[in-house]
Structure 1
Amino acid sequence: MRQPVCFALICCFNSIDACAADLTAQEVRWLKAAAPVLAFSQTQQLVFDITVQPQAGPNDVALAMGFADGRCKLVLSLRGNPDAEKVLADMPLEQQDLLIETMAAHELGHCWRYAQHAWHALPAGFVGSGDSAARREEAYADLVALAWVQMRHPGQYSAVYRWLSGLRDSSSLSGGNHDTRTWLRLASDPQRLGVQAQPFADVASLWRDGVNLDNPEN
């Protein structure tokens, strides 16, 4: 993992405004949009490091979750990244903060799986190919993101669902790690995500259904 910016980013987790002098306006905007997810993570005992890249690499996405030394690492790669907001380009400005929040919830789903020592693990009783392990994790995170929206912004579910489905509906993703369309089709009705108001539990059944459909061996 790249070296973080030299200032202590833990303050951004607790008080973004206190770090504003060390962050770009774009970074402050993204962190503030993600703040509800970061606050929720604390209630779930999901404490992770936040790293702001001083310079994005050629293949870095704007927001990602990594793992090192048994901890989750939320990495923001906006500086020098011309494609950082490409995923927001066609969306109305008033919806963009919600989409950043949704992306943060996706990354939180990854952290949850890692913290539960379930990374790349199949549901109990299932078999599957290791080649599809990364896709299953992306699918789980997509479902957590949608469950978050249904829990916190139910009136915006349809708009976010269309946006996420559009991202995953690219022919270039077909069969790849981010081809989560099997699971997204199951989530077209938000009521199928569950009613427990806890995104990790809410998506469990639907994720298992998608694993079953994605792998005919089950």
Structure 2
Amino acid sequence: MLKRAFLPLLLLTSAYAASAELTEMETRWLQAGSSVLAYAKQELKLPIDITVQPQARANDVPLALGYQDGRCKLVLSMRGNPSAEDILADVPSAQRPLMIEAMVAHEIGHCWRYTQGVWHAVPAGFEQAPQSEQAEALRDTRREEAYADLVALAWIQQRHPEQYTNVAAWMRHVREPSPAAGSHSTVAWLQLAPTGAAFASAGSVFDQANTVWRKGLMQEP
């Protein structure tokens, strides 16, 4: 559950880019993810609030999503966070907005799972061996991260197919340093989508991601 010590921002107003409340970095990230947020808010009617941490805490990631009081909370933790853009360090400047867009799509994937009431749920009939409470929590988190990664890739394939290879390679690079059993070790799923052809099925980006995600469940580490 998210803490309430957030500075609330208006969602997708025309003035947000020029708002004195926003830093230059926050403005760039919101602009890069604006098409994803518009889709989520206007077409899907997802209950999303954008919040900004007045001061990032130790180990905060720049962009995260939580769920509180029936609403998704897209949280920017960039103020006082010297490593906020480290994830983009190896990305050419011209491509950084695209990677940020993919990260926002990833978080919308989380929001979709929350709002559909399937958070930490698996498909009906899927069998899984019982594990310790800690191991199950790790596994459940990894599965959700994998689903969100696939939503991001499905989004890129739909909106920027010519850039799919670059984004997919970057995502694999980001995920590879994690330990094999880590909560963000989603490479087993990412390897199932080396090209955009993995998302050739009909349906929304969530449906397309789900098709690949189910395959990954059968061979997860």
TM-score by length of 1: 0.92
Residue 184 of structure 2 is aligned to residue 178 of structure 1: yes
- Cα pair 1:65 1:74 within 8 Å, conserved: yes
Deviation at 1:195, TM superposition (A): 3.9
Deviation at 1:13, TM superposition (A): 2.2
- Cα pair 1:2 1:53 within 8 Å, conserved: no
Q: Secondary structure at 1:14's aligned position in 2? A: coil
TM-score by length of 2: 0.91
Residue identity in the other structure for 2:167: V
Q: How many angstroms apart in 2 are the aligned matches of 1:99 and 1:189? A: 16
Q: How many angstroms apart in 2 are the aligned matches of 1:65 and 1:143? A: 16
Q: 1:148 is matched with which residue?
A: 155
Q: How many angstroms apart in 2 are the aligned matches of 1:3 and 1:143? A: 31
Query: 1:18-57 to 2 correspondence within 5 Å?
Result: 20-42=19-41, 43-57=43-57
Query: 1:124-143 to 2 correspondence within 5 Å?
Result: 124-128=124-128, 130-131=136-137, 132-143=139-150
Deviation at 1:127, TM superposition (A): 2.4
Deviation at 1:123, TM superposition (A): 1.1
Superposed CA deviations along residues 17-55 of structure 1, whole A, max 9, x for unmatched, are 465211111111111111001001021111211101110
Deviation at 1:148, TM superposition (A): 0.4
Superposed CA deviations along residues 100-147 of structure 1, whole A, max 9, x for unmatched, are 100000000000000000000011111235341111000000000000
Q: 2:111 is matched with which residue?
A: 111
- Cα pair 2:189 2:216 within 8 Å, conserved: yes
Deviation at 1:194, TM superposition (A): 2.7
* C-alpha spacing 1:55/1:2, structure 2 compared with 1 (3 Å): farther
- Cα pair 2:147 2:213 within 8 Å, conserved: yes
Superposed CA deviations along residues 52-108 of structure 1, whole A, max 9, x for unmatched, are 111001011000001111211000011000110001011100000011100000000
Q: Which runs of 5+ in 1 are unaligned?
A: none
* C-alpha spacing 1:126/1:16, structure 2 compared with 1 (3 Å): farther
Query: 1:5-24 to 2 correspondence within 5 Å?
Result: 5=7, 8-10=8-10, 12-17=11-16, 20-24=19-23
Residue 151 of structure 2 is aligned to residue 158 of structure 1: no
- Cα pair 1:173 1:179 within 8 Å, conserved: yes
Deviation at 1:179, TM superposition (A): 0.4
Residue identity in the other structure for 2:19: A
Residue 97 of structure 2 is aligned to residue 91 of structure 1: no
Residue identity in the other structure for 2:85: E
Q: How many angstroms apart in 2 are the aligned matches of 1:18 and 1:27? A: 9
Runs of 4+ in 1 over 4 A off after TM superposition: none
Residue identity in the other structure for 2:126: F
Q: RMSD of aligned C-alpha atoms? A: 1.5
Residue identity in the other structure for 2:155: W
Q: How many matched pairs? A: 211
